[in-house]
Structure 1
Amino acid sequence: MEDAREVMDLRATYEFLHRHEWIFNFAVTDFFTLKVWDYIPTEWRNSLESLSNAELNQVPFGFIKENWPESLKNFITMATNCSSPRKQICLFNPAVVSNTMKKGMNPKKIHEVSNMAAVIHEMCREHGVKVVIDIGSGLGYLGQVLSATYGYRVIGFESIASRSHGASKRNVKQSKQNKPHRTQNQGNDGNGGKSVNVDIEAEELSSLMETVTLELEDTKQCRQELTKLLYEHCLSEKEQLELKEGSKGLDDLRRMSDPARKVNSSNVECSMEQSVDQSNIDALSDTVSNSTPLSQSKHEIAQSITASKSDHLSQTVPMPNSTPVCMVGLHCCGDLTPTMLRLMRDLDVIQCLVCVSCCYHRMKEQSNKSIVNFPISKTVSETIRTSKVPDWSLTRFAMRLAAQETKARWQHQSAEEHDLHMKHVAYRGLVELYMEKEGTVLKKCHRKPAKKEHYGSFDAYVHGILERSTIEGKPLSEVEKDHHSANLKKLYVENEENFKYIEPITALQVVLQPVLETLITLDRMIFLRENGISAEIKPIFDEYVSPRNLALLANKT
């Protein structure tokens, strides 16, 4: 549980975001329809309008001018203080990725995989874990590096069958190309500064990595299916043989994990049922994770039952003591991270976690537009309840900003790049304003409404978008194009004076981006701590290369 000072900081951060929601709580295409510039405090306007390009780029880094109004200075200072550090912490040397392994990976992916693999290796080494489950494993890049470089057994779980199949094919191909080899990880990897050498035959390398098609969801059925798959794929051949020879074989285990089997007193409802009701989410946070097996031996696997403070019961099926696993995820999208955190709380087999999240805006919404899985911790929930704005909540717009690029790339934007961004926002916003005024829907018939060359001028943009759009499923006639073109150009003239606010407001969004992402990640870290799990947040990537660089590291000590 966080101490009172940290809770007060959370409350201050939440109220700070509420006061400045005008900066982010809108769709970028609604810039003109909502007249966002009208919400800029009067005393801020001159300061923001007079910024040079170099000054604009430094605003997210705490840049303040002496003659600025105190309210603007306080905004910059508060945002800076409420943001987690993003500079990469190089705790370990990145894993060495062979040229063969690099095939199919771009430089960003290589950077992520090599650094995350090193962090996972240290976590597993420290806690005696030899099996890694990779959630959302995709084509298996991370898992293949973990198995080839460090010798871990890796089971990838991927929801898209084509990716699972692709990962399996890639694994077989990589194994053949890496015929008997010695992998080596140089430098300080936690083994007293010694190098790690792993001799792996091609056949062994292939067997170390496999991918299973499974969509991880917050449901009882999914939890039971995952438990079954962990038994089937994590146990060594020796352990599986012992189970088959013992009083409880794998057939018994499959029946015990069967989602269709009848629920009784020894098979209570799991706490993973999904609900959009906030009270249910809070109840989930009350579940106690410290479960104790009733009995367990080489020939017997028993169930254990954990009672929460709210009398909510959850079933755990403990794995053999010799087979703890590390659950990892690189770019866990939307609700996937909260699902993983609840699985770690509820499944004894999951000893540690390394998770990098992304796409917060893809989390499910409730009917009131608040986010189902934010907050998930009791601490943040209570902080919001006792704040000055208990009925206000972060929306999808806030989550989208949290998932945007960080200030690292913003500081290098040239005047030309700022001008192009301004045109993107302005031109799209004017079309949205026009459709609202006219009651007309221009539906794009291409993935992008306009090509890059169309942003040279508004005339070119209008021509391009009218050529690539339809109304009620029909292409526009020349007469219709002329009509819409003339009206759009008129709107341009009427609103051109407000273009100057686009980049300053974008700069303010960049200032708030790390505040929002920090709040989301802190909520998740606190959730684990509330359930007796040691957790911390570390920036493990270079944020310029990979903006989503905050990793949630956790273990059951």
Structure 2
Amino acid sequence: MNDKKSHEVEMMSELIDSIANFCGIKQVIDLGSGKGYLSSFLSMQYNLKVYGIDSSNTNTYGANERNRKLKKHWRAYQSRARANVRGQVLEEPKDRAVQDEMKCRANINEKLLSTNNNLLSQDQMACSDSVPLEITGAFTDSAMLKTSKQTETHLVAQTQSDGNKISENAFSLLNILPADAVEAVSSSKYNMELCEEEKEQRKMASIKAKASKSNDSNIYLPLTSYITAETELRDIITDLEDCIMVGLHTCGDLAPNTLRIFTAKPEIKAVCSVGCCYHLLTEEFENQKDCSPGLWGFPMCRYLKEEGWCCGRNARMTACLALERVAVSQVLPTESLFYRAVLQVIIEECYGVIKSDRHVGKIFSKSSSFVDYVRKSLKKLELDESKLPDSCIMDYYEKYKHRMNELEAFNMLKVVLAPCIEVLLLLDRLCYLKEKDNIAWSGLVKLFDPVKSPRCYAVVALKK
């Protein structure tokens, strides 16, 4: 994994583990799992049973291969970790053993992420043909919710004796949820007033249990299926049980459909979904000729449906821009944007192509000049480049060169407006959940550093 993906997987998996422990569940369904980065980490690091579902057979194959290689390294790290924990339990006092277990888990975590980076190049060789792939009225910034050891120990000890998680950097679900988020439960199930001796005993029992777990106790199963709002999960997962549904940067309509499945299926007790690719969303009122009832990506909530709200593709494309990154770098990729804009004019005027299913992709950095950029683009679009001499290409460049500053100002305006449009799309999803009677709590959680990962908000919800 690159630094961005490592950051996303580490932060999101900690939150998912806290939610799973809070709800007392061990099964996770990861929609749009891709190569299985999040799924395998949840399985190996947190001993969760994870089903990763992706629509691409190539991704499923890649996930299986990657998981097979990863397990070899994981077993070696776990063996060393167990040996270290056993030694510390014998030689040190109880409080010292807890600290060593935390260090041990942190080392495993760091090594697992490092191993992911080392395996990336192998995955690319094995699957060279594969396509890689945010309250109750206010935002909750979980990046600032670094929890205390005591709060996390209380949370986990109340839910599962073998699910204790002693980690200084773990997320605390109690710090994310408001005080009245979940209905009160009996003291027999969640005893909030444990004596210090019993707390210590639970900590030690958890350490020993984790140290003695089988190497194969974690399960991750990659599956191939195209998921829609009507998908029957039991047709895909035969042993479906109470679970949490998650998705890390699920594209287009998959993010809203994740929420629809969550509200409809009683087995799904919680959801944690981070969407992306807003430009791929379907809109009910975008094409006035086709406003037929159906399950559209936008709008979802009752109010926006009644008002007939529509963003349009350009606005949704704008929502994908990264204001924080531009603010840090203090510059826009003006030249590459200019190249792309002039290329559009050339394709329309010289080839009569208005729409195409093909994509140019990221070839600006691989091009030595504007002429080279255009020719590489035409090849990718499967257009005849021979009918266009270099002089003609440069004529277009010179014709529009004086408008480059105008283009920069236009794109800066789009970047500034991007958060407004993204928040509209996210609040639409949140309001959809607020309208449901079976939801105990729902909110938008700022999960990632927006400079590292611009699509940084997770929609989180718990069932009653």
- What TM-score does the superposition give when structure 1 sets the normalisation length? 0.54
Does the 8 Å CA contact 2:270/2:461 hold for their aligned counterparts?
yes
Contact preservation (8 Å) 2:29, 2:244: yes
TM-superposed deviation, 1:402 = 1.2
Q: For the Cα contact (< 8 Å) 1:469–1:475, is it kept in 2?
A: yes
Range that drifts further, 343-352 or 136-145: 136-145
Within 2, Cα distance between the matches of 1:502 and 1:351?
48
Q: Secondary structure in 2 aligned to 1:515? A: helix
Residue 324 of structure 2: which of 405, 408, 411 is its match? 408
- Contact map agreement 2:299 2:428 (CA 8 A) in 1: yes
2:15 aligns with one of 94, 119, 122: 119
Partner of 1:276: none
Q: 1:446 to 1:542 in 2, by over 3 A?
A: closer
Aligned match of 1:353? 271
Judging changes above 3 Å, is the alpha-carbon distance between structure 1 residues 523 and 467 closer, same or farther for their aligned structure 2 residues? closer
CA contact under 8 A between 1:139 and 1:163: conserved in structure 2? yes
**Residues 171-210 of structure 1: pairs in structure 2 closer than 5 A:** 171-179=67-75, 180-181=78-79, 182=82, 185=105, 188=149, 190-192=152-154, 195=166, 197=207, 198-199=210-211, 200-205=213-218, 208-210=219-221
User: Matched residues, percent identical?
Assistant: 28
Partners of 1:347 and 1:506 lie apart in 2 by 42
1:519 aligns with 424
230, 235, 239: which one aligns with 1:233: 239
Q: Is the 8 A contact 1:466 1:481 kept in 2?
A: no
Q: Check whether the contact 2:54–2:224 (CA below 8 A) recurs between aligned residues.
A: yes
Distance 1:135 1:555 in 2: 18
Mapped contact 1:469–1:476 kept (Cα < 8 A): no
Alignment partner, residue 28 of structure 2? 132
Equivalents in 1 of 2:259, 2:359: separation in Å?
A: 39
Tell me the amino acid that sits aligned with residue 450 of structure 2: E
Post-superposition CA distance 1:193-234 (Å, at most 9, x none) = 9616423322323xx221222211133xx32xx12333x234
**Cα contact 1:463–1:485 (8 A) shared by 2:** no
Q: Secondary structure at the match of 1:543?
A: coil
Gaps of 5+ in 1: 1-104, 235-322
From 481, 488, 502, the equivalent of 2:396 is 488
Q: Corresponding residue for 2:258?
A: 340
TM-score (norm 2): 0.64
Correspondence for 1:536 among 443, 456, 462: 443
Q: Which has the higher helix share?
A: 2
For structure 2, the residue ranges without an aligned partner over 5 or more in a row are: 83-100, 107-147, 156-164, 168-206
Deviations 1:114-169 (A, max 9, x none): 10011011111111111111111222221222222222111111221222222223
1:342–1:454: structure 2 CA closer, same or farther, 3 Å change rule? Answer: closer
Residues matched between the structures, number:
337
- Find the counterpart in structure 1 of residue 334 from structure 2: 422
**Equivalent pair of 2:60/2:223 in contact (CA under 8 Å):** yes
| Aligned mates of 2:314, 2:227 — CA distance in 1 | 25
Contact 2:286 2:311 (C-alpha < 8 Å) held by counterparts: no
The structure 1 residue matched to 2:300, chosen from 371, 376, 386, is 376
1:396 maps to which residue?
313
AA of the residue aligned to 1:402: A
The root-mean-square deviation of aligned C-alpha atoms, in Å, is: 3.3
Change in Cα spacing, 1:166 to 1:449, as seen in structure 2 (3 Å) is: closer
Question: Which of the residues 334, 337, 345 maps onto 1:433?
Answer: 345
What is the SS of the residue equivalent to 1:332? Answer: strand
Deviation of the 1:551 alpha carbon: 0.4
* Helix, strand or coil at the partner of 1:411: helix
